[in-house]
Amino acid sequence: MAAKVLDYSTALDVLKEYKSRDGLDIHELMDTAKHGGLTYNDFLLLPGYIGFPASAVVLDSPVTKRITLKTPFVSSPMDTVTEHEMAIHMALQGGLGVIHHNCSPEAQADMVRKVKRYENGFIADPVVIDRSTTVGEAKLLKEKWGFGGFPVTESGKLGSKLLGIVTNRDIQFEDDASVPVSEVMVTDLITAQAGVNLQEANKILAKSKKGKLPIVDSDGNLVSMISRSDLNKNQDFPFASKLPDSKQLICAAAIGTRPEDKLRLKGLVEAGLDVVILDSSQGNSMYQIEMIKWCKAEFPGLDVIGGNVVTREQAAGLIAAGADGLRIGMGSGSACITQEVMAVGRPQAAAVYSVSSFAARFGVPCIADGGVQNVGHIVKGLALGASTVMMGGLLAGTTESPGTSFVSREGKLVKAYRGMGSIDAMQDKKAGGGGKDSQKSNAGTARYFSEGDSVLVAQGVSGAVAHRGSINKFVPYLAAGLKHSMQDCGMTSLAELHQSAEDGILRFEIRTASAQLEGNVNMESYEKKLYA
């Protein structure tokens, strides 16, 4: 007997007869007793209803209790991923770059300064020179800081009488490096009086057609400055991660948990650091708990992110110590072999869900760190409760990473990339200034508690990744992909994504090995372009 065909117009009413929605809710999906520990490739999100354009999706998400990013992407503190160039461009794109610490404290602090000086509202501490500074010295300052245009004052310090400004045009074609800047500087200046607000100062600058606008007091002493390049950056990068008061880019950096790292952190804070990440492969240690408490007591205005953790038990101690954020992942990175060598860790999806659901009860945001190979993995990490996603290998191939570019044996352009647990990274002597005891100051050995080991046990590898072009194209591609994925799920914001997952509205499906094969390309030959 044929089944009765129902009236098509009643389809939505008939749907209500089913006891549950199609697929699994997040709690059923992540039941490790039933399914074991899942990773990103083991499941999919089910589609929802599209009632809005992808452009309407909002990606704002917290990275710490106090700081929210416009784009939920963070670059990893690895020495082939994040130095000042990466940190600057990640911040300009609305994300956050975490500067590595496999270098001297002075070098790391210098990188923080470069990030903080890159974009400003009022520049409260401009680089100031005196009239006797030579053209050669001015050119060296331009190379050091990455910008030109230095105010010249009587004493060469802020708060002294303004005499002029030296710009790139004044020194570019001056061949005699010994000429004092007093002979080439611009003295016909347009200034604004101290007390002017930023909006009014920007109007004066725009009308002046000058590159810099010095702010002076009633006696003509320099008190601050604003720059035309910052006006341009505001137009070109509207989602940039900036502090609301100073308009400087937000900067993060990593340190270890050794006593000398306290001195390193003091230098970073003096340079303007906003967020510190305590960098350890296993964050649940007496060293890190003590360091979190010290950081919060010594620098109450500094946000502290602890980790790495993969269990609730690990997370609880760091949360109780005062961590403003957590970093989740152990052994899931593309250049990491911790799970293989140490037999310790956790599949990344299981780790992200377990820790982030626990941390959310205390208002502590979580970073999903590791295992991200594509846009889909980003979506899954966020759907499981992470507020941001940290990437290493995915960003190591970009122009802004410090890795070396070269042509592989296959004739492809690649960039060097290594895990911080690799022998190459742990034997790098930059952090210790090249001395005999460099191993004790190395970020890799510190991260894996190997400072005093006579035999180094690798927990990472060295290799190369495909060149991906500039961050300024690659990150927008990732953000666009994330927005379209959320549109497919019917979610207009990351906050809605998290709440819908918790309420059981967002549904999931486990993928068998055959399903994973089905979801990949099945052709004899093809060209895979990620974006255009």
Choose, from 113, 264, 327, 447, the residue flagged as catalytic.
447
The CATH homologous superfamily of the domain defined by 135-236: CBS-domain (3.10.580.10)
Q: State the CATH architecture for 54-104+250-405+468-516.
A: Alpha-Beta Barrel (3.20)
How far is the C-alpha of 106 from the C-alpha of 108, rounded, in Å? 5
Task: Outline where DSSP puts E strands in 21-144.
Answer: 43-45, 61-62, 68-69, 73-75, 96-99, 129-130
391 is annotated as contributing to ligand binding: no
How many C-alpha atoms does 293 have within 13 Å on its Cβ side?
9
132 is annotated as contributing to ligand binding: no
How far is the C-alpha of 58 from the C-alpha of 402, rounded, in Å? 31
526 is annotated as contributing to ligand binding: no
514 is annotated as contributing to ligand binding: yes
Q: Is 447 labeled as catalytic in the residue annotation?
A: yes
Per-residue pLDDT of the chain (532 residues; tens, 9 = 90+): 667 899 999 999 999 999 989 999 999 999 999 999 999 999 999 999 999 999 999 999 999 999 999 999 999 999 889 999 999 999 999 999 999 999 999 999 999 999 998 866 667 678 888 888 888 888 888 877 777 778 888 888 888 888 888 877 777 777 787 888 787 888 888 888 887 777 787 788 778 777 788 888 888 888 888 777 766 666 678 888 988 777 789 999 999 999 999 999 999 999 999 999 999 988 999 999 999 999 999 999 999 999 899 999 999 999 999 999 999 998 777 667 777 777 788 989 999 999 999 999 999 999 999 889 999 999 999 999 999 999 998 998 899 998 778 787 777 787 877 766 666 656 665 655 555 555 555 655 555 555 554 555 556 666 777 778 899 999 999 999 999 999 999 999 999 999 999 999 999 999 988 888 888 877 776 666 676 6
The answer to whether residues 432 and 421 touch, using CB atoms and an 8 Å cutoff, is no
The answer to whether residues 185 and 166 touch, using CB atoms and an 8 Å cutoff, is yes
Using alpha carbons, list the distances in angstroms from residue 97 to 83, 85, 392, 427.
8, 9, 11, 24
Residues forming CATH 3.20.20.70 domain(s) in the chain:
54-104+250-405+468-516
281 is annotated as contributing to ligand binding: yes
Residues forming CATH 3.10.580.10 domain(s) in the chain:
135-236
What letter would DSSP give residue 134? B
How far is the C-alpha of 357 from the C-alpha of 312, rounded, in Å? 9
How far is the C-alpha of 265 from the C-alpha of 34, rounded, in Å? 45
Choose, from 103, 295, 336, 366, the residue flagged as catalytic.
336
417 is annotated as contributing to ligand binding: yes
